[in-house]
Chain A
């Protein structure tokens, strides 16, 4: 089984370096390139054949959400895992709406990261435990437009 080919996208060099070092140590992962924003990631995808993109959200030039939407549209086979510090429910939901395949927090443990990448590569959807909890919160959100129509 060939290594999973990855692109790392983050505007913080220290994070990119950390992730790369972490993934390089592990068997089965091939980190083909790193990019500092969404646009650069799109440029790289034109050149490299990639299985999974680890995508930061808050970035200059093009943010992770926009980049994810384009990737999922233009390269449907490429998996995108959002890496962020945000555990907001709305954010997770929006990312999922953009087509992201996973949603992990950046300071994720090495094992968990490897596991998540593999799962995504096998067409699964992954969330880090905090995000999962947020998504499973007890809040009941009503459909706004539905209620609005009733009132009319």
Chain B
């Protein structure tokens, strides 16, 4: 029955239905009781209690005191398991009274034994011992060998546990238990007895004997296949080897204990194994190997808190630990919160600083860019201004040089040549009897001389027209147009408005004259025009020169590429006078060039 509770429940149920069907209900209480035991073994205490109570009711109804006593005993056991010690003792005592009344010594022995066990738990050791003695006497009387052995074992444990610390007595009683267990072949009991014996020896410091006893217990446990039992025995043996200073054996048994505990999910044992292994490695100086076990031990310690809650004392301890833990956790939470706050603050600071830094850098970069651009713009402006100054200087220097050369030619060579020409005439006029041949030679020479004078004079004139410096812009342009276009088929007209007799600074006059000259030269060379109109006028804000032709027009780019220097000169001269040049197609399909220069 103890081995197959499911089958017991099945047959119990069948018995119940059979009993009800046949009306033979004298056994009903007993059946309920057995069903309760089956559920109790299956660790379903609520169901067990239900059936025990049904058994109690049925027993009282039928007057079966044996069943009533048994049920009360069993209910006490449930309460005991629930930690309700007073209720348990109450039920046991009522059971004992019944067993006494009907003289059921087996039941009475069992109940006394149970009361003794509970009283130990309640700390009433002497009272417990009295119940054990009563149980032992009863069991001896009826020769209940298993019971006798169990009570011996209980007495032994009581001696070992008690404040008397009487291990010799403990060993004595356990030694009485062992042969009895052997006789009834209760191997489970035997293993418990050997373990008890080993514990006693161990406590006494008799490690060799303890080792022998543990190993006997271990062999029996292995035979029984009770791995939960022998896992802790492996652990106990490892402890003995430790005491015997045999670390290799110690570690080997610890390894096995660890493996078994792990398999059985026996966290309590595993925890102890981890701690012991960590210590063992630590003692051996193998700290690297010890460390992970400390970690495992530490991790498991937390989970064990819940596992071991079932016992009240440990529960309190657990509560204490939990409270401690909670306090620690709370502390940790506070610390964590503080750390997080610090971190957040620090992060904020860092981000703030970073943001500030980035903003600063960006601002700096932007300012640098602005500065750079401004500097560049200033530089560009300075370069342009310098170029313009250079241009103006070049133009001015060129004009000065032209003027000087023109004057040298005019006042020097030309006058000399003229003087020569006049003297030549005088010399020839004084010659007498001149032949036709001589006269012809003279005329040729005179013509050559006059041509030279004209040529040099033209060069001088082109370099710096006298009319411009002597008479100003209008006569100079008029003369230039006459000389340039007079010998061509191009008809021209020259209009001037609001400028009669007015003179301007030489630079301005020369610039406008040169621009006009360049434009007219371009028309002659490229435009194929038949008519040219030149207008010079003064507005409120500008001197304006307009040169218009009816030629084929020109593409600015192509002209520039072909005759770039000419147009560039025009543009440069205008710019040098802060003026501007604009080219547009004329209404007559030619070109209109407009030059606007602010008056000085």
Q: Is B429 an interface residue (CB 8 A)?
A: yes
Query: With a CB–CB cut-off of 8 A, which chain A residues contact B450?
Result: 107
In the complex formed, the residue of A with least CB distance to B481 is A139
Q: Is A141 an interface residue (CB 8 A)?
A: yes
B422 touching A107 by the CB < 8 A rule? Answer: yes
Contact with B along A116-152 (1 / 0, CB 8 A): 0000000000000000001001111110110110010
Of A28-36, A37-45, A68-76, A81-89, the one contacting chain B is A81-89
Partner of B423 from A12, A21, A85 at Cβ < 8 Å: A21
B423 touching A18 by the CB < 8 A rule? Answer: yes
Q: Is A14 an interface residue (CB 8 A)?
A: yes
In the complex formed, the residue of A with least CB distance to B536 is A144
Bound CA–CA A142/B537 (angstroms):
13
Query: With a CB–CB cut-off of 8 A, which chain B residues contact A138?
Result: 486, 491
B457 touching A139 by the CB < 8 A rule? Answer: no
In the complex, how many angstroms separate the beta carbon of B98 from the nearest chain A beta carbon? 150
Q: Is B492 an interface residue (CB 8 A)?
A: yes
Query: With a CB–CB cut-off of 8 A, which chain B residues contact A144?
Result: 495-500
Contacts across chains A and B counted by CB atoms under 8 Å: 124
In the complex, how many angstroms separate the beta carbon of B503 from the nearest chain A beta carbon? 13
Bound CA–CA A145/B500 (angstroms):
8
Partner of B482 from A63, A86, A89 at Cβ < 8 Å: A89
A147 touching B495 by the CB < 8 A rule? Answer: yes
A88 touching B475 by the CB < 8 A rule? Answer: yes
Quick one: given A14-B416, A22-B426, are A88 and B493 in contact (CB under 8 Å)?
no
A139 touching B478 by the CB < 8 A rule? Answer: yes
In the complex formed, the residue of B with least CB distance to A21 is B426
A18 touching B453 by the CB < 8 A rule? Answer: no
Which residue, of A89, A90, A140, has the highest number of chain B Cβ atoms within 10 A? A90
In the complex, how many angstroms separate the beta carbon of B380 from the nearest chain A beta carbon? 42
Q: Is A7 an interface residue (CB 8 A)?
A: no
Contact with B along A49-69 (1 / 0, CB 8 A): 000000001100001010000
Quick one: given A21-B426, A109-B425, are A15 and B419 in contact (CB under 8 Å)?
yes
B453 touching A107 by the CB < 8 A rule? Answer: yes
Q: Is B479 an interface residue (CB 8 A)?
A: yes
Interface residues of B in 454-510 (CB under 8 A from A): 457, 461, 465-467, 470-471, 474-476, 478-479, 481-482, 485-486, 491-500
In the complex, how many angstroms separate the beta carbon of B191 from the nearest chain A beta carbon? 139
Of B82-90, B101-109, B407-415, B566-574, the one contacting chain A is B407-415
Q: Is B430 an interface residue (CB 8 A)?
A: yes
B426 touching A25 by the CB < 8 A rule? Answer: yes
Contact with A along B412-444 (1 / 0, CB 8 A): 001111111111011001100000000000000
In the complex, how many angstroms separate the beta carbon of A13 from the nearest chain B beta carbon? 8
Q: Is A115 an interface residue (CB 8 A)?
A: no
In the complex, how many angstroms separate the beta carbon of B272 from the nearest chain A beta carbon? 123
A88 touching B422 by the CB < 8 A rule? Answer: no
Query: With a CB–CB cut-off of 8 A, which chain B residues contact A5?
Result: none
Partner of B467 from A86, A139, A142, A148 at Cβ < 8 Å: A86
Main secondary structure of the interface of A (DSSP, over half): helix
B453 touching A88 by the CB < 8 A rule? Answer: no
B422 touching A90 by the CB < 8 A rule? Answer: no
In the complex formed, the residue of B with least CB distance to A141 is B494
Query: With a CB–CB cut-off of 8 A, which chain A residues contact B493?
Result: 139-142
B466 touching A91 by the CB < 8 A rule? Answer: yes
B467 touching A110 by the CB < 8 A rule? Answer: no
B423 touching A90 by the CB < 8 A rule? Answer: no
Bound CA–CA A55/B79 (angstroms):
159
In the complex formed, the residue of A with least CB distance to B429 is A25
Bound CA–CA A150/B410 (angstroms):
42
Quick one: given A12-B415, A144-B496, A144-B497, are A90 and B475 in contact (CB under 8 Å)?
yes
B476 touching A22 by the CB < 8 A rule? Answer: no
A90 touching B474 by the CB < 8 A rule? Answer: yes
In the complex, how many angstroms separate the beta carbon of A57 from the nearest chain B beta carbon? 8
Quick one: given A12-B411, A85-B457, A107-B453, are A91 and B479 in contact (CB under 8 Å)?
yes
Query: With a CB–CB cut-off of 8 A, which chain A residues contact B478?
Result: 89-90, 139, 141
Partner of A107 from B418, B475, B476 at Cβ < 8 Å: B418
Quick one: given A15-B419, A21-B426, A25-B429, are A85 and B474 in contact (CB under 8 Å)?
no
A14 touching B496 by the CB < 8 A rule? Answer: no
Bound CA–CA A65/B469 (angstroms):
14
Quick one: given A139-B478, A139-B492, are A91 and B471 in contact (CB under 8 Å)?
yes
Contact with A along B560-590 (1 / 0, CB 8 A): 0000000000000000000000000000000
Query: With a CB–CB cut-off of 8 A, which chain A residues contact B486?
Result: 134, 137-139
In the complex formed, the residue of A with least CB distance to B423 is A18
A110 touching B466 by the CB < 8 A rule? Answer: no
Rank and list the top 7 A-B pairs by shortest CB-CB distance, nearest first: A90-B475, A18-B422, A14-B419, A12-B415, A88-B479, A18-B419, A21-B426
Task: Show 28 A/B contacts (Cβ-Cβ < 8 Å), sorted by A.
Answer: A12-B411, A14-B415, A14-B416, A17-B419, A17-B422, A22-B425, A25-B429, A57-B470, A58-B411, A58-B470, A63-B470, A86-B466, A86-B467, A88-B465, A88-B467, A88-B479, A90-B474, A90-B476, A90-B478, A91-B470, A91-B479, A94-B471, A107-B417, A107-B418, A107-B450, A139-B478, A144-B496, A145-B497
Q: A88-B466, A144-B499, A145-B500 are in contact. List 16 more A-B contacts (CB 8 A).
A: A14-B418, A14-B419, A15-B415, A18-B421, A18-B422, A22-B425, A57-B470, A58-B410, A58-B411, A107-B421, A110-B425, A139-B478, A139-B485, A139-B494, A141-B494, A144-B495
